[in-house]
Each structure stands twice: as C-alpha cells, then as structure tokens.
Structure 1
Amino acid sequence: MRQAFLTLCLLSAALAPIYVGIVFLGFTPDHHCRSPGVAELSRRCGWSRAEELNYTVPGPGAAGDAFARQCRRYEVDWNQSALGCVDPLAGLAANGSHLPLGPCEDGWVYDTPGSSIVTEFNLVCANSWMLDLFQSSVNVGFFVGSVGIGYVADRFGRKLCLFVTILINATSGVLMAISPTYTWMLIFRLIQGLVSKAGWLISYILITEFVGPSYRRTVGIFYQVAFTVGLLVLAGVAYALPHWRWLQFTVTLPNFCFLLYYWCIPESPRWLISQNKNAKAMRIIRHIAKKNGKPLPASLQSLRPDEEVNEKLDPSFLDLVRTPQIRKRTLILMYNW
C-alpha cells in the first residue's frame, strides 16, 4: 500500500495553505492614510519617499503612539499654495502635534508591493477585526467539520466522504480567489474550513486502516511530516507569488487533481467488514496482498463473503464514552488537542 500512502500524504501537505495561509493571505504591511494632494506636492517639491513621509504623515509624537501614523492624517488641504517644500506644516503650527488629526477617509497607502486581503479590502485600523474574523471562520469550520465527519464517514464510508470533501474544498478555494467582496470571501473560507480538516482526518483514518496496528504509529508520523513539507513549499510559493489571489489559485487548483485518486484509493476494508460487506472487503484485501507480494493473513482467511450478518451496529457519538477504557482515551485525546 505504499502507493496509497504516498498519494494520501499529498493531501496532508495540501492542508498547510488552508491551516496557516493567513500568514501570507492576510499579511499587513506598513501603511498610512492617503491624503489628496500629497502626491502632487511631493512631485512638485521633488521629495524622496522618506521626506514625503516625514513631512506629511503624523509621527508617534502626534498622538503618543504609532496608531496615529497608520490610522490618522493631518486635517490639512495639501493643495493650498501657501505650503512650502521645506517643512510645509511649519507655517500652520509651531509643533506638528498641535495640528488636528482625522480618520483615513480616502483610504490607505501601503508600503509593500504585491497584495493581500488586507491591502485589497483595507482590513486595517477600525476594520482590523475583520482579519481576525477571516481566520476565526476557518477555525470554526475546522471544529464543526472535525466533530461531524467521523459520524458521516462511519455512515457512508471513508472513500465517498474523502472525495466529496476534496471537491467542495477545491471549488470553494477557487471561488474564494475570485470573490469580489469581503463577505463572499468569508463565506467560501468558512466552507473550506468545514471540509478541509474533515478531509485531512478521513485521509488519516484511511491510512491507519490500511496497515496493521504495528505500523500505525509510523504512518501517522510520516503523515504529519508531509504536512510540514507542505508548510515549506507554501513559503516558497508565497515568496514567488506576492499577490494573494494568484497565491490562492496556485495552492487550490492541485486539489482537483486529487479527484483522480478515486481510481487509486480503495475503500477501507475495515469499514466494509464493519458494514457486513465481506465480499467487497475480501476483494480489496486480496488486491492489497497481491500488490504487496504477501500472502493473505491467516486471520482473514476464515472470512467468507457468504457470511453476511443481517444486523450491523449503527455508529453513535456515545461510542466515544460507552466504556471506561474508550472514555479514558477520548478524554486524553481531547486534552492533547
């Protein structure tokens, strides 16, 4: 099952842009208020970038902290002819801290090339909470999706759930990249959160159910290593693509390729047996044994396709706390997470 393991590890790496993509998608560069007339005055006076900022942007002393420099501007008509090129505000007040300050009514100027959702939707100053909401939405999706996917996967199968989550994740990621407004972007980000972590968990379950108990720890560790590799790749891609929409496209489109796994990844034999679908389970087990060059395990040779049982157990959340042993393990894992 090395083929299935390696292909599913790519899914783990693909979660990295959703999990920590906010670092690049929501990058907040240095910024200051846009003031009409400043650009023309700077051009006429031949100011350097540093001189323009020094003459026209409030310093920390103007309001006691750096907030004034980023979120306040001098209430000055920069088009008036009385302003000189050397310390233009000197004739209006003896000290710049005495000049009235106002909000950034004409937007902001950002000091870094490229773009992020912060620079495109101006998620700074009074709107900075909207960036926190953007990341909170995906975390809420992680929580809800992670709680519900176990029941859904037990009911409908690991393979079906995996490919449904991949399709929804890829589609919502592309729609987020072309969202015209912040609200639509937030909605698609929430949908990504609902299905992406759920798909990651289903992939992990498939990997551990394909191997024996002695290999589960090893494959689990390497599955997490693949996620770390995804983080490293994301940093390189974000460096090459400083515009958030192109970055979002680039990290999302490969997810559509994962749909081809439908012909590569079998259903979990353990789940099929739990659903009394022994015939399908035996076909997959024999295929796996043949691919691995191993004989069929003795414990499974007694399993017969015609030994179907009419009664099967329905999954329930109560199974997590039904016995003292499973209850202890559930609480330990919840605490660790």
Structure 2
Amino acid sequence: MSCLSIIQTFFVLCLLSAAFAPIYVGVVFLGLSPTHRCLSPGVAELSTRCDWSLEEELNYTVPQGEPHGETFSSQCRRFDVDWNTTGLSCTSPLDSFTNYSNDKSGIPLTTCQDGWIYASSGSSIVSEFNLVCEDSWKLDVFQSCVNFGFFLGSICIGYIADRFGRKPCLLITILTSSICGILVALAPTYTWTVTFRFLQGFVSKGSWTAGYIMTTEIVGLRYRRTVGILYQAAFTVGLVILSGVAYVIPHWRWLQLAVTLPSFLLLFYYWCLPESPRWLISQRQNDKAMKIVDNIAKKNGKKLPAHFEEDDDKQTPSLMDLVRTPQMRKHTIILMYNW
C-alpha cells in the first residue's frame, strides 16, 4: 500500500513524463548528421606527403561547383581518379587527369563507393550506418517508426489500461520500454535498430498516457487542468536534461544507454504508487478503492466525508465510447485534429 500523499504521487509520475522526452525527440541527437565527404583512397597518403592543411586537401581533392551543368553535392560525389598515381603535383594534382590546366570540369565523378569521412569527434546512427546521400531517407524512417509506434500504442495500450488497470499497464510498459531502449543501443544493424525503436515507441507512448491518466484521476475535478499542464511541463524539463546529457556524451550508443538505464528506477512504482481509485470504483472494486482513498486522506491530514459516493455500475471500456455521444464525438474530433 502506498503511503505517498497526492503531491508526492504527482511528483513521481512527473518523472515518467520527463523520461519520455529522450524517446520522443532523441532523434535530434541520435540521428545527428555531421559534415561529411567521400572517402577517396590514396588522398590521405597524398595529403601527408604534400603536407596539406585540411583546407588545402578539400580544395585540391573534393569536387566543387556544377560540372557539365549538373547540380551535385560535394558530400555525395568524388573524382573518379586514382590518387595513388605516381608523380602527382602537390599544387595542382588534378592536372595529371585533364588536358586543361586547373579545369576540373572534364574529370568524371562517381559516387562514394568507398564510404565517407565524417567531420565529427562523436558518433550517431547517421555516421555509423552511413545514412547519407542515397540512404538519407533511412533517417526519416528511423523517426517515422517510433511515431507509428506511438500511434498504435496510444490505441492498444490505452485500451489495456482501461481494461486491466492503470498500474499494471504502467509497470509493464515501463519495463518493456526500458528493455527496448537498451536493445536499441546494442543493435548490431540499422534494421534491428529501427525494429527496437518501433517497439519502444509502441509501449512508451502508452506508459506516458497511462501516467497522465493517473495524475488526473488522483485529484479532484478542480485540479485536473493544473496537474495535466504540469505533467506535460515535466516533459520540457526532460528536454533540458537530455540536451545536457547529449552535450557530455556525443556517442549515440552511450547516450542511448545513459537516458534509458534510469528508466528502470521507475519500476519502484510497484511499491510507491497506488492503483487509480476511480478505475477501481469503475470496476466495482470499492473496498480496494476506499482503502487507497482513506490512506491518501490520512497522509494529507484530511477526513473522508461520512457518505462517500460510490458507483455500483461496473464499466466496460470500448473504442465506441469515443463516438457514443455527440459531446464525446466533438471532443474526440477536436483532440485528433490538435494532435
């Protein structure tokens, strides 16, 4: 039985909202796209021999402009030449590959067949799995998968919370989300990373929603709007913390672990959080609900009214409840539009 007051219960649930921030916007840091250029075999050796600075190396070996009238990105194209050719000049190395001095337009280009060089001391899924140029769309898939998981989880897990209780749903989704977060950090390939990212999105949005419901159900109608706003404000606090952690840890796998491991501490909810009394009453478990309400009242230094209203009708949730009445239909459409 929890011995927390309403304020304490609200505070520990806000930790869940803050922990949701890295999942929702973590792609900003996990999917950071650093400045990059094609890896050209032989350039490093030539640069060392000629004692070029980085600026000189880029000027001599990276294509610029729009040769042949075709727009291209210098990050995705390189000169199709053999930089290991002997006798290359250190001041005009490309002259050996064209009949026109200092004219690079006649030199053919090719794709980054040998990989890329990234101008970053850290790492991200972009630099590790080369999600650039022709494969840059895969970064969008990485975030789209978690968003699709949010969509499905909001529907499925929301129903589970109504059917089996807020607290069991909360604990199961927290555990699953934490495990999936660890698996994202350990995933050996892009495909597995996206798969675990989707599963984390599927359960994490449901846990966040279940926490939101619990915060509004443990207070009276007068305070529901306030706690709802503060619960979402805790998400903003999570964003600030995420930025600081990402600054200290520039490597995406370690960052993923750093923001995921603390989530396992939320499993202490099993001992310090009660089930929602309103849900228990809706399921005709009035005795359990009254014990929780009485415990909270004592913690807050209050006394229950002599005649505490109870609902004897057990409620069975259904998706049809969202459109059953004109008022609910209006609220459902408005909220769907807002999201």
Q: Which residue of 1 aligns with 2:57?
A: 52
**Deviation, structure 1 residue 325:** 1.5
Q: Which residue of 1 aligns with 2:192?
A: 184
**Deviation, structure 1 residue 298:** 5.1
Q: Which residue of 1 aligns with 2:315?
A: 313
The 5-angstrom pairing of residues 138-217 of structure 1 reads: 138-217=146-225
2:79 maps to a residue whose letter is Y
Residue 290 of structure 1 pairs with residue 290 of structure 2: no
**Whole-Å Cα distance in 2 between the matches of residues 298 and 130 of structure 1?**
62
Residue 137 of structure 1 pairs with residue 139 of structure 2: no
Q: Which residue of 2 aligns with 1:324?
A: 326
| 1:62 to 1:32, Cα distance in 2 relative to 1, 3 A | farther
Q: How many residues align?
A: 331
Q: Which residue of 2 aligns with 1:10?
A: 15
**Whole-Å Cα distance in 1 between the matches of residues 67 and 230 of structure 2?**
54
Higher relative contact order (CA 8 A, sep 6+): 2
Secondary structure of residue in 1 paired with 2:95:
coil
**Whole-Å Cα distance in 2 between the matches of residues 125 and 255 of structure 1?**
35
**Whole-Å Cα distance in 2 between the matches of residues 67 and 26 of structure 1?**
23
**Deviation, structure 1 residue 244:** 0.2
1:320 maps to a residue whose letter is L
Q: Which residue of 1 aligns with 2:86?
A: 81
**Whole-Å Cα distance in 1 between the matches of residues 19 and 317 of structure 2?**
29
| 1:121 to 1:221, Cα distance in 2 relative to 1, 3 A | same
Secondary structure of residue in 2 paired with 1:32:
strand
One of 279, 282, 287 as aligned partner of 1:271: 279
**Whole-Å Cα distance in 1 between the matches of residues 71 and 291 of structure 2?**
67
Structure 2: which 5+ runs fail to align? 1-5
Secondary structure of residue in 1 paired with 2:245:
helix
Q: Which residue of 2 aligns with 1:98?
A: 106
State the percentage of identical aligned residues. Answer: 63
Secondary structure of residue in 2 paired with 1:258:
helix
1:79-117 Cα offsets, whole Å, 9 max, x none, are 111311002002322211210001111100011110000
Secondary structure of residue in 2 paired with 1:60:
coil
TM-score by length of 2: 0.95
Residue 38 of structure 1 pairs with residue 78 of structure 2: no
| 1:222 to 1:142, Cα distance in 2 relative to 1, 3 A | same
1:201-256 Cα offsets, whole Å, 9 max, x none, are 00000000000000011101111110001111111110100000000000000110
| 1:143 to 1:51, Cα distance in 2 relative to 1, 3 A | same
Q: Which residue of 2 aligns with 1:335?
A: 337
| 1:124 to 1:63, Cα distance in 2 relative to 1, 3 A | farther
Q: CA RMSD in A?
A: 1.5
